[in-house]
């Protein structure tokens, strides 16, 4: 009962004693239910899907390269060999960047629209998004295990320890 004695509750009681008149002379229309639909756009670049197709191709190439890289790192303690002219090492680095880019795009889209990337043609963009998150999880696990075993993770450039 102390609540009723406080000044704020007294002002609430005074508001309750007022009556309000509602003008009922207006014509009454039946209420129609609101239709609300929220969907992410299927494409982000004007409708031709070039960005999605590039992301799909990049993701489908990057995720197996990362799997190969992580397997090599776990078994040998080193990343992939540089290859002819550094091409394999470059592919490895670009693959990591592509996965980070896809995840960044996914997080941006999730924050902006409330849903992830659109599924894309044949659901491939959604598949690439999922594979990218799985790759990130694998990266965190293998890098964590590498750090616990060796005390460090290899840098982005070939070292003498691995390819000397």
156: which DSSP letter?
A: S
pTM: 0.67
Helix residue ranges per DSSP H, the chain: 2-5, 7-16, 50-76, 87-113, 124-150, 160-163
Check if the beta carbon of residue 66 is closer than 8 Å to that of residue 139.
yes
User: What pLDDT score was predicted for residue 141?
Assistant: 95
For residues 12 and 14, what is the distance between their CA atoms, to the nearest angstrom? 5
* Tens-level pLDDT at each residue, the chain (164 residues): 444 444 444 444 444 455 555 555 555 566 677 666 555 554 444 555 888 999 999 999 999 999 999 999 999 888 898 889 989 999 999 999 999 999 999 999 999 998 888 888 888 999 999 999 999 999 999 999 988 988 888 777 777 777 76
Check if the beta carbon of residue 140 is closer than 8 Å to that of residue 147.
no
User: What pLDDT score was predicted for residue 160?
Assistant: 75
CA 87 to chain centre: 29
């Amino acid at each position: 009962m102390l609540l009723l004695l406080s000044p704020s509750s007294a002002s609430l009681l005074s508001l309750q004693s007022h009556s309000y008149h509602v003008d009922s002379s207006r014509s009454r229309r039946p209420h129609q239910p609101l239709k609300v639909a929220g969907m992410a756009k299927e494409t982000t670049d004007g409708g031709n899907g070039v960005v999605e197709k590039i992301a799909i191709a990049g993701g489908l190439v990057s995720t197996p390269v990362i799997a190969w890289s992580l397997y090599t790192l776990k078994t040998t303690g080193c990343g992939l060999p540089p290859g002819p002219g550094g091409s394999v090492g470059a592919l490895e680095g670009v693959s990591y960047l592509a996965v980070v880019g896809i995840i960044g795009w996914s997080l941006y889209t999730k924050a902006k629209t409330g849903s992830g990337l659109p599924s894309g043609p044949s659901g491939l963009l959604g598949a690439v998004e999922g594979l990218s998150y799985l790759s990130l999880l694998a990266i965190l696990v293998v890098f964590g295990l590498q750090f616990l075993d060796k005390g460090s993770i290899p840098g982005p450039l070939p070292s003498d320890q691995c390819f000397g």
